[in-house]
Amino acid sequence: MSVQGIDETQDRIDPPLLLRLRQQGPLLWTNPDLEAEPHPSALVERELAAAVDRLERARPLLRQLFPQLASRAEPIRSDLLPAAALPVALGLPREWGSLLVKCDHRLPIAGSIKARGGFHEVMAFAERVAVKGGVLPAGGDLTRLASPDARALLSTYSIVVGSTGNLGLSIGMISSALGFNAIVHMSSDAKQWKKQLLRDNGVRVVEHSGDYANAVALGRAEALADPLAHFVDDEHSIELFVGYAAASYELDSQLRDLGIRVDRDHPLFVYLPCGVGGAPGGITYGLKKLFGPDVHCFFVEPTASPCMLVQLAAKGDAPISVYDIGLTNRTEADGLAVGQASMLVAPLMRSRLSGALTVTDEALFGLLAKANETEGLEIEPSAAAGFAGPLALLQSPKGQDYIRTHDLAGCMRAATHVAWTTGGLLVPGPEQRAFLERGRAVESDLCFG
Ligand SMILES: Cc1ncc(COP(=O)(O)O)c(C=O)c1O
């Protein structure tokens, strides 16, 4: 948590916005500092190139570690699904463009968007250890990480992470598969089934009272005390960030395959559920690099946990949390229950993010049920957040203002909206049925007045 008191934070956020955030109704905030061509970060550029290369080299290794991936040319790739019925159910007019779903909720093994960054960081660490230990030549064939001598070496190391759940699943699965000891620190309110699944896969789960940030801090402290431990730092890791960012190239190639153009007359809108900011931030970084002013990225956060919105809307660069403005950070969208945005990611979003919107938990369940009825999607509540994006742009004065300011009104019919569904594959059947039941009972439609 940051050190300001409530009085000081009042000065950092525009009073009408502060009031609306505290009322916890859905809202859209647009970013006044957005730049058409943001300046590249030398660090991210270097690490991103290395990540793209490593992820490509890792394909045979992943196929070897996980037999379920044996037939997949690209083991960690998700479908881009045209969705025709959902926009009708949401009340989106045809003139608003078309909707696609980027199905990271079906990513294998980890079941969420966290597969991308998490697998990348653990494989990068494994590669460093193996090269240093003399069991892998630098730049060598990564399948050697699955050899008995490499496994014996890796098994002397621990991988430690603090997580709301899905990053833990991702790190836990890849770490155990490579032979590392995997330790995941979670807040006690993290979903029980996620903890159980990790334990069933040989991961040590440490539960803490307090929130996600507390679990991260305690994990960090434990790892620091152990010279043979590597801490995956969800709040600061560049290797996670660039692992997520690599998905932007995947989206680019899928849009091309579908014959979808992205240019001045064919804008691309991408809606990303945001927790600490690493996954949506990495993807936004990559998409802005590829498409510049023709892509418009929006984060979606729970009304109780709008940490990135608060960080970017506040004056000055000092950290500010949702607790600082009197919010609880209590939400059913467990992957998004983060009080303080990543201070690695927030500065990178300052010039890149078009805006951020908030949704109530009730709306998330309603969207989850509509996505299931119309498109057969099985997703967790966090993953439904993106579907609120096109509505927020359409309905809110801020959204309309954004369309006008960027001179987009004339080309919205040719717009492509991508909602990134970020998790769901591993949700047990009874949990999924309970989500759907709750969502079907939601009566009110989403409204960003
Ligand atoms: C399902 C889901 N969606 C989105 C996110 C947000 O990712 P990040 O915390 O990197 O912003 C998470 C994070 O765990 C998640 O589990």
Q: How far is the CA of 194 from the centre of ligand 1 (A)?
A: 14
The pLDDT of residue 225: 93
Q: Is the CB–ligand 1 distance for residue 346 below 6 Å?
A: no
Question: What kind of fold does domain 6-110+241-440 have according to CATH?
Answer: Rossmann fold (3.40.50)
Q: Is residue 2's pLDDT more than 50?
A: no
Q: Whose CA is nearest to atom 13 of ligand 1?
A: 335
Read off φ and ψ for residue 80, nearest 5 degrees: -115, 110
Q: Is the CB–ligand 1 distance for residue 274 below 6 Å?
A: yes
Residue 98: HSE in the Cβ half-sphere, 13 Å Cα cutoff: 13
Q: Is residue 441's pLDDT more than 50?
A: yes
Instruction: Judge whether 324 and 267 are in contact, CB under 8 Å.
Output: no
CB atoms within 10 A of CB 60: 13
The pLDDT of residue 7: 60
Domain with CATH 3.40.50.1100 in the chain: 6-110+241-440, 114-237
The pLDDT of residue 190: 82
Q: How far is the CA of 62 from the centre of ligand 1 (A)?
A: 22
- Closest residue by Cα to residue 49 from 245, 309, 305: 245
- Residue 426: partners with Cβ closer than 8 Å, 6 or more residues away: 110, 111, 112, 169, 194, 197
Q: How far is the CA of 422 from the centre of ligand 1 (A)?
A: 7
The pLDDT of residue 188: 77
CB atoms within 10 A of CB 225: 8
Q: Is residue 54's pLDDT more than 80?
A: yes
Q: How far is the CA of 382 from the centre of ligand 1 (A)?
A: 7
Structure tokens at 340: 């303080």
Each residue's pLDDT tens digit, 239-290: 999 999 999 999 999 999 999 999 999 999 999 999 999 999 999 999 999 9
Q: Whose CA is nearest to atom 4 of ligand 1?
A: 273
Q: Is residue 411's pLDDT more than 50?
A: yes
Q: How far is the CA of 228 from the centre of ligand 1 (A)?
A: 28
- Mean pLDDT over residues 86-115, rounded? 97
Q: Is the CB–ligand 1 distance for residue 287 below 6 Å?
A: no
SS3 363: helix
Each residue's pLDDT tens digit, 151-205: 999 999 999 999 888 999 999 999 999 999 999 999 877 889 999 999 998 899 9
Q: Is residue 44's pLDDT more than 50?
A: yes
3-class SS shares of the chain: helix, strand, coil, % to 5? 50, 15, 35
Each residue's pLDDT tens digit, 297-335: 999 999 999 999 999 999 999 999 999 999 999 999 999
Pick the CATH number of 114-237 from 3.40.50.300, 3.40.50.1100, 3.90.79.10, 3.90.1150.10: 3.40.50.1100
Residue among 105, 107, 166 whose CB has most ligand 1 atoms within 8 A, to mutate = 166
**Residue with structure tokens 């699955």?**
146
- Mean pLDDT over residues 131-143, rounded? 95
What CA–CA distances, in Å, run from 177 to 68, 113, 183, 394?
A: 13, 19, 13, 45
